[in-house]
Amino acid sequence: MNPSSVTAPAHQADAHAHHEPQGFFSKYLFSCDHKVIALQYTLTGMFMAVVGVYMSYVFRMHLANPTAHIPFYGVLSPAAYNSLVTNHGTIMIFWVAMPVLLAGLGNYCIPLMIGCDDMVFPRVNRLSFQIFFLSTVLLLLGFIAPGGAFGGAWTSYPPLSAKADYNMTPWGNKIWLLAVALEIVAFLLGGINFITTAMNSRAKGMKMFDMPVLVWMIVIATIIFMMSVGPLVAGAVMLLLDQTVGTHFFGAQGGDPVLWQHLFWFFGHPEVYVLLLPELGVVCEIICVFSRKPLFGYKTMVYTTFMVGILSMVVWAHHQFVAGIDPRMASIFSLTTIIISIPVAVIMFGMIATMFKGSIDFKVPMLWAVGIIVEFLLGGVTGIYLGSSALDVYFHDTYFVVAHFHYTLIPLVAFGGFAIFTYYFPKVTGKMLDERLGQIHFWGTAIAFNFVFIPLFFSGLAGEHRRIYDYSGFAELATPGMLKMRVIATHALLVMMAFQLPFIWNVLKSLFAGAPAGANPWKANTLEWAADSPPPHGNWPELPEVHRGPYEYSVPGREDDYWPQNAAN
């Protein structure tokens, strides 16, 4: 089949004849425009972030002061504690990190950065969001189902998750599983769109290595997601049959509960890198723009990222060192886990080398980007402790683990989300954010964040087990010293939440009274800044042509210190 016959309908579509959809519903709710879908994903994700933070507020308040009446909630029951802990984790990974970092960012940036007018399959894209929205509603419905929402932890280990007799949530466990499965379907549909668009729809003149590193990272993250999620889909079908029909895939009668752990973590660990890579891509873009320097080792970054993707597939069993796996296997997985820190470290050094001797301008997006590097480093380094199977036997399921992955995920999801938000706000709305409020927000959040989780490292080292409703039954964990750590963490969380108020005020103020941004407020090279702010339906009056790579900053002999990819000379 020759390509020209396939593209036959193409000739009917005229690049200049984009009709802006009229009316609120067709423009904002049922639009196929990648930018609107990106905003739908992002805003749904931000709403779910509020829900997830509220849950953490409730159980942290409970841990700091058990039996107390919690403002805006009441008294927390043990079953509700389990539901909240479970759904806090589920929501933050699947309904905040994935939609904001992957779906929202990817949908907004891929077509704009590679210079085309939309995703290759806009209607599939819309379907992807609709399924995602359905999954969101389904998950929240779990809270009003008989028996309450699922409380068997976000990893949903059987046999606890397989039998309603054990988990006491006959509806909640099935609803949780179906919601996660639907959410995965939504991202598979979106992911096929991402990869195909980046491969096939780049602007005229844009070669593979002319793509901004952010596009590379999103595409590689999507491929990792697609290659790792399949076994979990199969596992979800099997678990659903265990729950509903009464099969014993993961039961004691002929089945194997550890099999679920393998299926879950075969996806669950690569998922960490699915969330990490788009974030690192954003940090690369921001650091280049605000250091006025080309990215250090562009191609090395891309190859290293591929290496991360491959290695991420062979580390999963480090979550199961105490699950009774073969000790010889534990050594292998310790080794791969420690090896994967090498390519990630290469990427981090590349970022630092990009800043080296640059003319750094600490605007708010740059603050968040540097914040990510500093805080993520702490999360990554504590990961090396946990990757070593000898140490993990002691640390497993303690607050050390909780503090470790919050030190990786909060820099990625919260700091990264704010970096994306502050960097792209001028593009999306056409208005500038207030710098001073942004700085207050950054410093307040970053400092409070450390006070939440550094105490948890220490309580974890002291042996504090996670997922415990009431510590009074454990003499060595109910000491005043241990309680003090919990209280510090909870107070710091309240401070961190309070420091989101300047952010909300900043967004509202800037939306209505912000200074106009213009097309390219940061003087950046990549193609999205060549479009109007906000870009219209179809993105450009005429689709751009690309003449050079994305990081031509401070080129000697040029008057401007930037050189947009689409500028003829």
Partner 1 sequence: MSAFQIPVATTRSVTGIPTGRLAIWWVLASEIVIFGGLVTCYILFRLRHPEWAAEAAHTKLAAGAFNTFVLLTSSLSVVLAHLAATKKDTVNAKRYLTYTILGGLVFLCVKAYEYTSEISHGFTITRSVFWSFYYTATALHALHVVGGMTIMAIILPDVAKGKFLPRVEYIGIYWHFVDLVWLFLFPLFYIASAA
Binding site for partner 1 (CB under 8 A): 1, 3, 5-7, 9-10, 12-13, 15, 17-19, 21-22, 25-26, 30, 32, 111, 116-123, 188, 191-193, 195-197, 199-202, 226-235, 237-238, 241, 245-249, 254-256, 259, 263, 266, 538, 543
Helices 399-409 and 257-291 pack at an angle, to 10 degrees, of 40
Identify the residue whose tokens are 């050079």.
548
Smallest gap from residue 542 Cβ to partner 1 (A): 11
Smallest gap from residue 408 Cβ to partner 1 (A): 25
Smallest gap from residue 238 Cβ to partner 1 (A): 6
Nearer to partner 1, 192 or 325 (CB): 192
Nearer to partner 1, 91 or 236 (CB): 236
Smallest gap from residue 137 Cβ to partner 1 (A): 22
Smallest gap from residue 120 Cβ to partner 1 (A): 5
Smallest gap from residue 387 Cβ to partner 1 (A): 24
Q: Give the chain's radius of gyration (CA, Å).
A: 24
In angstroms, the first-to-last Cα distance of the chain is 39
Nearer to partner 1, 232 or 344 (CB): 232
Q: CA–CA separation, 97 vs 277, rounded Å?
A: 12
Q: Which of 129, 212, 137, 235 is nearest to 179 (CA)?
A: 137
Nearer to partner 1, 31 or 382 (CB): 31
Q: Which of 120, 117, 277, 110 is nearest to 196 (CA)?
A: 120
Smallest gap from residue 537 Cβ to partner 1 (A): 10
| Integer CA distances (angstroms), 281 to 45, 97, 273, 410, 420, in order | 20, 15, 12, 16, 10
| Integer CA distances (angstroms), 83 to 52, 144, 168, 482, in order | 12, 12, 11, 24
Beta-carbon contacts of 501 under 8 Å, excluding residues fewer than 6 positions away, are none
Smallest gap from residue 498 Cβ to partner 1 (A): 43
| Integer CA distances (angstroms), 529 to 95, 118, 519, 561, in order | 29, 16, 6, 15
Nearer to partner 1, 215 or 364 (CB): 215
Nearer to partner 1, 11 or 357 (CB): 11
Nearer to partner 1, 65 or 247 (CB): 247
Beta-carbon contacts of 413 under 8 Å, excluding residues fewer than 6 positions away, are 92, 96, 97, 100, 101, 275, 279
- With beta carbons less than 8 A apart as the criterion, state whether 515 and 430 touch: no
SS3 23: coil
Nearer to partner 1, 121 or 143 (CB): 121
